[in-house]
């Protein structure tokens, strides 16, 4: 998709994402920038880079930037226990992660902020599914499950010639590793 990237939209989106981070002690824009850097680092490693497409890299860098957008400074457990409106909206399931994705997607649906303008419907769907999967994967509730699944897949040689499901798991592990 390199030729199709609308750089003006991408820059405008990233500025809006930066503005959308709250001034909370940890989940602020400095944290997002750190996660973008970490994600880019992991994506560039030989064992990862050979399995990912340019579209994967593009959507994961954007996903890393948006992964904690509008974070309120409280964790999922607090939001659920306090019956917060966001917890109600997302049925107590990966509350913040769903909130961050939805907050970012509301921005990206604006024509002048759409980083996928000019992409095919197939590329857009692939990017959205990958980003949603990876950002949901930052929910610490899934940490040990994903780690066990990843170790099992590595042990089984799944990353010698991974299918799309395994590539998505690899991408989610890159984002999650950068996030912790």
Residues 6+ apart with CB under 8 A from 110: none
Q: Are 115 and 105 in contact (CB under 8 A)?
A: no
Residue 124 CB: number of other CB atoms within 10 A? 19
**Cα–Cα distance, 91 to 99 (Å, whole number):** 11
| DSSP category for residue 123 | H
**Cα–Cα distance, 147 to 40 (Å, whole number):** 20
Structure tokens at 103: 């907050």
Whether 176 is catalytic: no
Catalytic residue among 27, 67, 71, 176: 27
Residue 107 CB: number of other CB atoms within 10 A? 18
Q: Are 67 and 138 in contact (CB under 8 A)?
A: yes
Residues annotated as part of the active site: 27
């Amino acid at each position: 998709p390199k030729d199709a990237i609308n750089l003006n939209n991408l820059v405008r989106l990233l500025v809006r994402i930066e503005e959308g981070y709250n001034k909370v002690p940890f989940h602020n824009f400095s944290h997002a920038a750190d996660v973008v850097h970490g994600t880019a680092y992991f994506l560039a490693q030989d064992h990862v880079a050979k399995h990912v497409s340019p579209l994967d890299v593009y959507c994961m860098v954007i996903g890393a930037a948006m992964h904690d957008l509008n974070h309120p400074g409280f964790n999922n457990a607090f939001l659920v226990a306090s019956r917060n409106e966001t917890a109600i909206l997302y049925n107590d399931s990966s509350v913040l992660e769903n909130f961050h994705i939805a907050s970012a997607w509301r921005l990206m649906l604006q024509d002048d902020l759409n980083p996928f303008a000019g992409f095919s419907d197939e590329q857009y769907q692939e990017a959205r599914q990958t980003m949603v999967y990876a950002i949901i994967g930052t929910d610490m509730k899934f940490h040990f499950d994903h780690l066990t699944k990843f170790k099992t897949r590595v042990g089984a040689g799944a990353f010698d010639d991974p299918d799309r499901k395994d590539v998505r798991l690899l991408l989610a592990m890159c984002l999650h590793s950068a996030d912790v």
